């Protein structure tokens, strides 16, 4: 309470009288915290029934041995290091029997790691007489927050050979609340369709604590380019009747399939023995069903040789 009282018998060392039992009294019987550290002189008076008195003095020293009181601050949870700085105001109910105590940070200890750990911080509550009590605040470190990232920009290619190799740099905005996020290639999965075919390319984004998310890049394979046919030799071509005809042929190429010459479809109705105009057609299709623009060679059969 900060106050204490004494009686005359507390300091009497054996006062007597030759006639009767004296009555004892003291001039100061109440002390408080202001008396701590400064001895107080108390006068003891002994008085008999005839009113005769005698006095003596005693020194009273007030000592405070009662520690302050306080309760543990509320625990908190954080996602990651660093540990918040100490804050003595988290101790909210410190009290003492003699005045207002002082709160001091005593440091703390960390167990576990930056992904899952516990930091216990100790605060000491000390009064003016050096009495103290200690309370602790538990700070739990628990990183359960996954990184963030956006899906990479989708791309379209015409040929399977044009699909770029996996490249983690296409994920451009990966970030994490605590650490540096790491990007890794996971898989390419086709939808099984044909021209267009869609490949879903997956990347994982992982932080140092193993929290992870996946992002996907859409790769569309859509071949819209037709093959190209190139004639070999002249067009039109004029031949002499009855001299025979051998077609000069053509070549074909495609952006995805390459050389398609062997796949040319040639339709020819040339009769070198009959004068007239004939047409040879050339067609080709690539593996994705795109057809080349048909090429036509004109063959003119003439009879310019006089009879013999």
Same domain flag for 193 and 254: no
Tell me which of 206, 221, 236 is where a domain ends: 221
Q: Could you tell me if 96 and 55 lie in one domain? A: no
Q: Is 235's pLDDT higher than 90?
A: yes
Which residue among 177, 201, 221 closes a domain?
Answer: 221
Question: Residue 33: inside a domain, yes or no?
Answer: yes
- Same domain? For 205 and 258 the reply is no
User: Are 193 and 215 found together in one domain?
Assistant: yes
The vertex-150 CA angle with 146 and 156, nearest 5°, equals 140
Instruction: Indicate whether 172 belongs to any domain.
Output: yes
40 shares a domain with 14: yes
pLDDT band at 1 (very low <50, low <70, confident <90, very high): low
Looking at 221, 237, 269, which one is the last position of a domain?
221
pLDDT score at 251: 98
The structure's pTM equals 0.73
Considering the domain architecture, whether residues 239 and 293 belong to the same structural domain is answered as yes
Whether residue 11 is found in the same domain as residue 36: yes
With respect to residue 191, please indicate whether it lies within any of the assigned structural domains. yes
Domain of residue 50: give its range: 3-60
Residues 32 and 51 in one domain: yes
**In the predicted model, what is the mean pLDDT of the chain?**
95
Whether 202 is covered by a domain: the verdict is: yes
Check whether residue 83 and residue 126 sit in a common domain: yes
User: Which pLDDT value is given to residue 259?
Assistant: 98
Is 70 within the bounds of a domain? Answer: no
Residues 249, 280 within the same domain: yes
Task: List, for residues 243-290, the tens digit of each pLDDT value.
Answer: 899 999 999 999 999 999 999 999 999 999 999 999 999 999 999 999
The total of structural domains in the chain comes to 4
**Domain-located, residue 195:** yes
Question: Do 213 and 237 reside in the same domain of the chain?
Answer: no
Question: Quick one: which of 198, 171, 200, 199 has its CA closest to 183?
Answer: 171
The whole-angstrom separation of Cα 231 and Cα 252 is 9
Does residue 49 or residue 219 have the better pLDDT?
Answer: 219
71 domain residue, yes or no = no
Residues 235 and 216 in one domain: no
212 found inside a domain:
yes
Cβ-based neighbours of 193, under 8 Å, separated by 6 or more: none
49: pLDDT confidence band, cut at 50, 70 and 90? confident
């Amino acid at each position: 309470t900060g106050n204490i009282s004494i009686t005359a018998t507390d300091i009497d060392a054996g006062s007597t009288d030759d006639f009767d039992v004296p009555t004892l009294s003291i001039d100061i019987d109440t002390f408080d915290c202001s008396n701590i550290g400064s001895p107080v002189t108390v006068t003891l008076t002994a008085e008999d029934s005839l009113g005769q008195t005698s006095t003596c003095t005693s020194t009273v020293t007030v000592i405070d041995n009662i520690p302050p009181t306080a309760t543990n601050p509320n625990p908190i949870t954080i996602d990651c290091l660093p540990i918040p700085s100490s804050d003595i105001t988290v101790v909210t109910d410190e009290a003492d029997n003699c005045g207002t105590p002082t709160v001091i940070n005593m440091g703390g200890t960390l167990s576990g790691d930056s992904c899952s750990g516990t930091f216990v911080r100790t605060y000491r509550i000390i009064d003016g007489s050096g009495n103290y009590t200690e309370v602790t605040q538990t700070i739990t470190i628990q990183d359960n927050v996954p990184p963030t990232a956006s899906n990479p920009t989708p791309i379209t290619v015409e040929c399977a050979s044009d699909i770029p190799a996996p490249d983690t740099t296409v994920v451009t905005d990966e970030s994490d609340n605590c650490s540096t996020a790491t990007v890794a290639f996971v898989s390419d999965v086709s939808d099984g369709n044909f021209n267009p075919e869609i490949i879903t390319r997956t990347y994982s984004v992982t932080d140092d604590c193993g929290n992870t998310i996946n992002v996907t890049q859409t790769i569309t394979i859509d071949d819209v380019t037709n093959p190209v046919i190139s004639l070999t030799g002249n067009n039109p071509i004029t031949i002499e009747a009855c001299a025979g005809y051998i077609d000069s042929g053509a070549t074909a190429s495609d952006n995805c399939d390459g050389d398609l010459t062997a796949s040319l479809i040639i339709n020819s109705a040339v009769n070198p023995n009959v004068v007239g105009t004939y047409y040879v057609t050339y067609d080709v299709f690539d593996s994705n069903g795109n057809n080349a623009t048909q090429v036509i060679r004109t063959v003119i059969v003439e009879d310019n040789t006089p009879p013999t």
